[in-house]
């Protein structure tokens, strides 16, 4: 076999970059937990000064800063031996309420990888692994990764993109947030629309417990009811709006869930379906975002679906055609793409 050395070097360059990011994941999470990014944002510092600010050990902080600078996550000034963050670095690394929060993705990734032996064995057996069986950082990191996108888009653009929904929510509507996880989306909606009432449901009892506490902390517990229930078994009827945020593709039987959503909606109700950004064909997903989602799906989404009855395993890159087919088979007659971001596709589905 003849190896093209230029192509080999190009591939090894990609590998080195990937390996560096993999090794850096733990350091990013450390920076998140210890507040190192927040302490550095807007306040350049030498290692000893940053350590003093954060109550940490200066030798560890020095090594951490050097690694962060090598990866381009912070800037280094050799003339003063100090480190700083640009506005863009600080936005992505130090603000969990901004439009993107990079550390949350690494919390999710590290939690996910703890299940590697179990997933490797599932490759041999074809078995599944339920969402509830993963390390708790999967649930926490997932919310930290997706919540900033919801903050940036849910109220400002996604709800207004739906026909008549914003007016209903302002006047007072009944809303079902299905597969709500830790309740980030439910709480955001409840904060914005105080006249409406919300039911958040998830089959994972620990997530629901956390969601209830966070709703109470946010002062909206009086207008949200959280319940432990599957997507095909959540309670109530006569909903003006039902929503599934980044979870329909995880379900073993999304068709049963879709049918339940349809019967729970009012005749003029709306189902807001938010899914990961994906093309219908594999070739259209062979890009950096698709790479994230395919690999996360291998470890999380497909195993969860295969752990449940139903026969589906859509995966995180299912694409619009697959989601449309599920809703059509469930009896919905109207389906359109209402909005999109680099990470999400947003669909409006009606009976």
- Range of the structural domain that residue 85 is part of: 21-94
DSSP-derived letter for residue 196 is S
Beta bridge partners of 274: 245, 346
Alpha-carbon distance of 143 to 284, in angstroms, equals: 27
Q: Is residue 14 part of a domain?
A: no
Give the pair of three-digit tokens for residue 34.
């210890």
Q: Is 197 in the same domain as 310?
A: yes
- List the pLDDT tens digit at each of the 351 positions of the chain: 789 999 999 999 999 999 999 999 999 999 999 999 999 999 999 999 999 999 999 999 999 999 999 999 999 999 999 999 999 999 999 999 988 999 999 999 999 999 999 999 999 999 999 999 999 999 999 999 999 999 999 999 999 999 999 999 999 999 999 999 999 999 999 999 999 999 999 999 999 999 999 999 999 999 999 999 999 999 999 999 999 999 999 999 999 999 999 999 999 999 999 999 999 999 999 999 999 999 999 999 999 999 999 999 999 999 999 999 999 999 999 999 999 999 999 999 999
- What is the distance, to the nearest Å, from the Cα of residue 98 to the centroid of all Cα atoms in its chain? 14
Can you say how many angstroms the Cα of residue 137 is from the centroid of all Cα atoms in its chain?
Answer: 12
Tokens of 174: 């009944």
Closest CA to 34 of 52, 48, 55: 55
Domain closes at, from 38, 61, 94? 94
CATH number of the CATH domain containing 185: 3.40.50.150
Residue where one domain finishes, among candidates 57, 74, 94: 94
118 and 214 fall within a common domain: yes
Tokens of 287: 């890009």
Domain annotation covers residue 1: no
Q: What is the CATH number of the domain that holds 90?
A: 1.10.10.10
Judged by DSSP in three states, 45 sits in strand
Residue 42 domain flag? yes
Domain identity same for 211 and 316: yes
Q: With beta carbons less than 8 A apart as the criterion, state whether 162 and 153 touch.
A: no
Which uninterrupted H or E stretch holds 162?
A: none
Provide the domain count of the chain: 2
Task: Establish if 146 belongs to a structural domain.
Answer: yes
Report the SS3 class of residue 299.
Answer: helix
145 with 281, same domain: the answer is yes
Q: Are 266 and 220 members of one domain?
A: yes
Q: How far apart are the first and last CA of the chain?
A: 59
- The answer as to whether 116 is a domain residue is yes
Are 336 and 273 in contact, with CB atoms under 8 Å apart?
no
- 264 and 242 Cβ atoms separated by less than 8 Å: yes
């Amino acid at each position: 076999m003849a190896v093209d050395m230029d192509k080999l070097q190009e591939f090894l360059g990609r590998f080195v970059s990937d390996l560096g990011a993999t090794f850096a994941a733990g350091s990013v999470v450390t920076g998140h937990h210890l507040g190192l990014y927040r302490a550095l944002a807007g306040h350049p510092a030498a290692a000893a000064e940053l350590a003093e600010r954060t109550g940490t050990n200066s030798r560890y902080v020095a090594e951490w800063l050097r690694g962060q600078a090598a990866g381009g996550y912070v800037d280094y000034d050799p003339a003063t031996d100090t480190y700083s963050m640009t506005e863009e670095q600080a936005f992505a690394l130090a603000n969990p309420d901004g439009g993107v929060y990079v550390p949350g993705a690494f919390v999710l990734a590290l939690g996910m990888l703890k299940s590697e032996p179990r997933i490797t064995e599932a490759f041999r057996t074809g078995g599944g692994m339920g969402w509830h069986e993963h390390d708790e950082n999967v649930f926490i990191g997932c919310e930290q990764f997706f919540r900033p996108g919801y903050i940036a888009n849910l109220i400002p653009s996604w709800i207004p993109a739906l026909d008549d929904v914003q007016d209903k929510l302002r006047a007072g509507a009944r809303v079902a947030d299905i597969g709500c996880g830790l309740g980030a989306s439910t709480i955001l909606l409840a904060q914005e629309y105080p006249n409406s009432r919300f039911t958040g449901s998830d089959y994972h009892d620990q997530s629901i417990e956390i969601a209830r506490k966070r709703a109470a902390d946010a002062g909206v517990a009086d207008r949200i009811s959280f319940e432990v229930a599957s997507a095909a078994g959540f309670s109530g009827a006569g909903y003006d709006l039902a929503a599934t945020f980044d979870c329909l593709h995880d379900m073993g039987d999304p068709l049963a869930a879709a049918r339940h959503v349809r019967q729970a909606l009012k005749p003029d109700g709306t189902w807001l379906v938010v899914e990961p950004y994906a093309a219908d064909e594999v070739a259209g997903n062979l890009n950096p975002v698709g790479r994230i989602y395919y690999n996360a799906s291998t470890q999380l989404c497909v195993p969860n679906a295969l752990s449940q009855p139903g026969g589906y395993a859509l995966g995180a890159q299912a694409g619009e055609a697959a989601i449309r087919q599920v809703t059509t088979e469930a009896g919905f007659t109207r389906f359109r793409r209402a909005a999109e971001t680099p990470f999400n596709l947003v669909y409006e589905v009606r009976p």
